[in-house]
């Protein structure tokens, strides 16, 4: 995968579009109101169908002054080793969701991510693109 001028892992627009199509399909079939974990598993099915490599609940280590703090976070899904997917099932995407996603992108050294809120009435209203 290519890196940008800041050394961040870049992903292509084609990957983003495939992931968004997958999210819309999941939302169309399942609708809003379920737990994030259900959407996560359904997204894994759709991404696999599209022949995309994806991993769920990927550990994100926190390194402070060269030391692994032994505590970390988990990315909901990482697609093609270059795109962070943060899945939500909330009334609306808030600043804290955005801050969390930006922090995860920095820790992973990824340029782009998507916040996918499956609790939106229409999936297109629940998609937030994030770039650093």
7-40 confidence digits (pLDDT tens): 899 999 999 999 999 999 999 999 999 999 999 9
Residue 8 lies in a domain: no
Rounded CA gap, 20 and 50, in Å? 12
Residue 124 lies in a domain: yes
Residue 2 lies in a domain: no
Residue 117 lies in a domain: yes
Are the beta carbons of 127 and 115 closer than 8 angstroms?
yes
Q: Into how many domains does the chain fold?
A: 1
pTM as predicted = 0.93
Give the structural domain span for 89.
13-131
Residue 3 lies in a domain: no
Residue 22 lies in a domain: yes
Residue 125 lies in a domain: yes
Each residue's pLDDT tens digit, 84-103: 999 999 999 999 999 999 99
Each residue's pLDDT tens digit, 108-128: 999 999 999 999 999 999 999
Rounded CA gap, 38 and 115, in Å? 16
- CATH value at residue 123: 3.40.1350
């Amino acid at each position: 995968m290519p890196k940008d001028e800041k050394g961040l892992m870049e992903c292509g627009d084609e990957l983003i579009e495939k992931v968004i199509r997958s999210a819309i399909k999941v939302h169309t079939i399942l609708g809003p109101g379920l737990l994030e974990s259900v959407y996560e598993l359904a997204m894994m099915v759709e991404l696999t169908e599209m022949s995309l490599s994806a991993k769920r609940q990927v550990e994100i280590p926190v390194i402070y002054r060269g030391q692994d703090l032994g505590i970390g976070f988990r990315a909901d899904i990482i697609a093609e080793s270059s795109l962070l997917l943060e899945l939500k099932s909330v009334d609306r995407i808030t600043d804290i969701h955005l801050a969390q996603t930006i922090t995860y992108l920095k820790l992973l050294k990824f340029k782009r991510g998507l916040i996918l809120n499956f609790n939106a009435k229409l999936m297109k209203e629940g998609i937030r693109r994030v770039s650093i």
